[in-house]
Structure 1
Amino acid sequence: MLIATTPADGHVNPMLSVVRQLTGRGHDVHWYTGQAYRDGVVGAGAVPESMRSGYDFGGLSKEEAFPGHAGLTGLASFRAGMEDIFYQTAPGQMTDLLAIIERFRPDVIVSDDMCYGACFARERIGIPLAWVGNSVYVLGSRDTAPLGYGLGPSSSRVGRFRNRLLTLAGDHLTLRTVRERADEVRAEVGLSRLDTSVMENIARRPDLYLVGTVASFEFPRTDLFERTHFVGPLDLPVPDTAFDPPSWWNELDDGRPVVLLTQGTVTNDVQRLLVPAVRALADLPVLVVVTTGNSPLDPTTTSSLPRNVRVEPFLPYHRFLPHVDVMVTNGGFNGVNTALAHGVPLLVAPGSEEKADVAARVSWVGAGISLRRRNLTSQRIRTAVGMVLNDPRYRDAAVRLRGEYLRHDGPKQAAELIEGLVGPRGVTAVLPEAGARW
């Protein structure tokens, strides 16, 4: 099996648990991704394959890898991300992958759902392809608005008209450059234009689509892609045996509500969410725990932190989340799923990529509140946190979802479904020939 992932934490981390399952079942697995993830690849039992023609931006912040994206939010960030991070990098990825396939002769490719170089390689040679989703369901539907708008579903006549209108607007106005760039990239690698809507004119649908969440967290669709499976979360932390808790750990049991404030590992604009949130909660009777990930707070900020704030670069979520009463986040898909798998309600302040769509799902299931404005005020954050803490409906919805999460073993289910693409002794399952319309 050949694994291919975009060199970014949110794309690599969900695949790690799946690869551990596949190698544990005796499969010969090679993994194409960035050099920064080599140790993880080897630790999962796979053979690392280097990015040579493909752009290896692993280990860099988004602003370092793509300087023009600094400060972008909303649709502007969404457009730039699709065109620069995923589309323009695909031809180099395809070149690398075709060379690996020629040498390694895999029976199946398993990629994240935005590693379009893998999609191109599959289309060129007809090898089966499984997507392991790293975020929300990405395919279009008559019952939902297109990605990027952060809107809830609607299958009514009026709702479907809205969805169709937004799709047409995306094709010809708001996401026109994304659509055009997809056509250009396909032509660059010798593939024909796809006469489909924006976001689906870059690659044909896979032979298997594995979405790393539970069905209840995703919008209902009457036209769900028939080869889709909601397998449950794939990036839940692996329990550790050794843990050295910080000096303040006993404060988790002093009776105060605990607020986790995090913005994930990619976005590093601490001024947008972390700073106003710390100010908002400074004089409330709560314990605020800030995890900074790859974006440590500057000394000026840390020297004047309120007395109720504790800052850590990292905390093991499986140990910490059982103590948390609300998570404040920018809407990273894996972090949101991890919180809900522990029954923790959320306040989501999305700023970039598809995070507005993640936030829309949190609001839709009733497990939290979404703050959509770019400029977040401390007062709005303070009010929203108070609502989540004081209204039991948010916690109840999160707890109901936790029960569904617990019924899934995402990595195991994913591995079993991937194996279904390959027959006995490596005989590839019978599939439509490459390039066939679905």
Structure 2
Amino acid sequence: MTRILMTSPPIYGHLVSVVAVAGGLVARGFDVDVLTGAKYRGLVTRAGARFLPLPREVDYDDADLDAFLPGRANHTGLAGLRHDMIGMFARVVPGQDAALTQALAAGDYVAVIGDVAFGGTMPLLLRSRDDATRRAQRPLVLGLSSVPVTMTSIDTAPFGLGLAPAPGVLGRARNRVLNRLVNDVLLREVDVALAAALCTCGITTAHPRFFDAAALFDGLFQLSTSGLEYPRRELDGRVAYLGPLPPVPRGDLPLPDWWADLDAGTPVVHVTQGTIDNHDPARLIVPTIRALAGSAVTVVAATGGRDVAEVLAHFPEGLPTNARVAEFLPYDALLPRTAAMVTNGGFGGVQQALRHGIPLAVAGATEDKPEVAARVAWAGAGIDLRSGAPKPARIRAAVDRLLRDERYRRGAQRLQGEIAAAGDPFDAIAARVCEHARARVA
């Protein structure tokens, strides 16, 4: 049986895609191990894969990052991004590398498939980059990306700024200046920390910056569609766009008693803050409900696991009559009924909406969310609200535009068509691994 090793940092937003791919490969007859944090042992084994633990010194609870990164609460904005990148992704590289090296020594793996945020694959790839013999001896190493493409390009502004491409000579000049500013000044500490971590692993040669590390992989599987990604001349076919992973049916979720209201004929507007950055519903869910109160739509909010009472507490007078709230809702049943979506910019949720041709208003402010918001607007599939906590008036204006201006729906439907044409992502990954396995024994 063909063996595959998959790797992920212990962060649910990254691991969930890795585990989904692991389950898809197990169902296709592969023997799959997953190297990640102890908290997620059950998630891995339920997918049919074998769990391999990260060393304790590089394992952490993604729900309590302050415990792993003391002082994290004191860093915000760009300083917070630097602090997180250094602590969660750079300094952990030696421990991840040691665990990966140990796993490879113990198992005959045909391929390693690593989430792009798992820096432990960098030493493996750098050791063999200029050594054909070592490259032939190691497994195929593929990247798996559930976030927008981060790689630096003359055609785009640096990742994280949320800026769409600007055309022509002036646009490229802008990008040169911003790339130099971000890479050589604002995020220089991250590169220094990564260099120190790689040195600990015995790597002293030149290496790419963290956001460019995906270029080292033998191939990169991007879990999105090319129509939602900026063109970059540097990619040159290295990225395989597989489309988003298919949603997992949630037949176990009971439908709320108000479910029939969604078939009453008024447009349904869904609002979500995802399952991670959802501790404060006043950032997006509450202002969306207030914004659309009294309008001819039905607002459906999902708290992502938070108690519904946290939303109701903001409405002592009672919810508006056109609002409905639940902790979780089955997307396979909700999205076909949805006319527009207001979201905090989680990449997976955005693409599930686009799978159904739903135009979006995106309120991204943290992590990769500003980049997601900018891409949705650039692709013509929605509106970038340019704030993580937009005012009700701004939300209402955006939703009105989404419902009235057919250009947004056409943009979303164009991406819907691309997603439908992408085929089965699990089959594409399996085919690449099998191709390498056949070449190895030829």
TM over 0.5: yes
Describe how 1:401-420 pairs up with structure 2 within 5 A: 401-408=415-422, 409-420=424-435
Using the alignment, how far apart are the partners of 1:67 and 1:384 within structure 2? 39
Which amino acid letter does the alignment assign opposite residue 18 of structure 1? V
Describe how 1:18-417 pairs up with structure 2 within 5 A: 18-58=21-61, 60=63, 66=69, 68-70=71-73, 75-124=78-127, 126=135, 127=138, 128-194=140-206, 196=208, 199-200=211-212, 205-234=216-245, 236-240=246-250, 244-267=254-277, 268-296=279-307, 298=310, 300-301=313-314, 304-408=318-422, 409-417=424-432
2:131: which partner in 1?
A: none
Residues 227-272 of structure 1: CA deviation (Å, up to 9, x unaligned): 21111112x3123555531101001011222111111112134332
**Residues 117, 197 of structure 1: alpha-carbon distance in 2 compared, 3 angstrom cutoff:** closer
Contact 1:348 / 1:371 at 8 angstroms: preserved in 2?
yes
**Residues 57, 305 of structure 1: alpha-carbon distance in 2 compared, 3 angstrom cutoff:** farther
Contact 1:77 / 1:353 at 8 angstroms: preserved in 2?
no
- Secondary structure of 2:400's match? helix
Contact 2:110 / 2:433 at 8 angstroms: preserved in 1?
no
Shift of 1:47: 0.8
Contact 2:143 / 2:214 at 8 angstroms: preserved in 1?
no
**Residues 42, 113 of structure 1: alpha-carbon distance in 2 compared, 3 angstrom cutoff:** same
Q: Sequence identity, in percent?
A: 37
Q: For structure 2, list consecutive stretches of 5 or more residues without a partner in the other structure.
A: 129-134
Using the alignment, how far apart are the partners of 1:308 and 1:73 within structure 2? 37
- Secondary structure of 2:182's match? helix
Contact 2:344 / 2:388 at 8 angstroms: preserved in 1?
no
2:132: which partner in 1?
A: none
Contact 1:54 / 1:91 at 8 angstroms: preserved in 2?
no
Using the alignment, how far apart are the partners of 2:165 and 2:113 within structure 1? 29
Contact 2:366 / 2:388 at 8 angstroms: preserved in 1?
no
Shift of 1:336: 0.7
- State the TM-score, normalized to the length of structure 1: 0.89
Contact 1:214 / 1:405 at 8 angstroms: preserved in 2?
yes
- Secondary structure of 2:262's match? helix
Using the alignment, how far apart are the partners of 1:270 and 1:124 within structure 2? 47
- State the TM-score, normalized to the length of structure 2: 0.88
Using the alignment, how far apart are the partners of 1:405 and 1:131 within structure 2? 20
**Residues 123, 216 of structure 1: alpha-carbon distance in 2 compared, 3 angstrom cutoff:** same
Using the alignment, how far apart are the partners of 2:211 and 2:42 within structure 1? 33
Using the alignment, how far apart are the partners of 1:293 and 1:61 within structure 2? 18
Which amino acid letter does the alignment assign opposite residue 271 of structure 2? L
**Structure with higher helix content:** 2
Using the alignment, how far apart are the partners of 2:255 and 2:48 within structure 1? 30
Contact 1:388 / 1:394 at 8 angstroms: preserved in 2?
yes
**Residues 417, 16 of structure 1: alpha-carbon distance in 2 compared, 3 angstrom cutoff:** same
1:432: which partner in 2?
A: none
* RMSD between aligned residues: 2.5
Contact 1:290 / 1:311 at 8 angstroms: preserved in 2?
yes
Using the alignment, how far apart are the partners of 1:64 and 1:385 within structure 2? 39
Larger mean CA deviation between 393-402 and 292-301 belongs to: 292-301
- Secondary structure of 1:326's match? strand
How many aligned residue pairs are there? Answer: 425
**Residues 407, 345 of structure 1: alpha-carbon distance in 2 compared, 3 angstrom cutoff:** same
Using the alignment, how far apart are the partners of 1:262 and 1:114 within structure 2? 25
Residues 154-174 of structure 1: CA deviation (Å, up to 9, x unaligned): 352111111111110012322
- Secondary structure of 1:131's match? strand
Contact 2:72 / 2:83 at 8 angstroms: preserved in 1?
yes
**Residues 294, 87 of structure 1: alpha-carbon distance in 2 compared, 3 angstrom cutoff:** farther
Contact 2:112 / 2:142 at 8 angstroms: preserved in 1?
yes
Using the alignment, how far apart are the partners of 2:163 and 2:405 within structure 1? 23
Shift of 1:293: 1.3
Shift of 1:145: 1.1
Contact 1:270 / 1:295 at 8 angstroms: preserved in 2?
no
Larger mean CA deviation between 74-83 and 107-116 belongs to: 74-83
**Residues 28, 332 of structure 1: alpha-carbon distance in 2 compared, 3 angstrom cutoff:** same
Residues 313-356 of structure 1: CA deviation (Å, up to 9, x unaligned): 11121111011111111111111111101111100011111111
Higher relative contact order (CA 8 A, sep 6+): 1
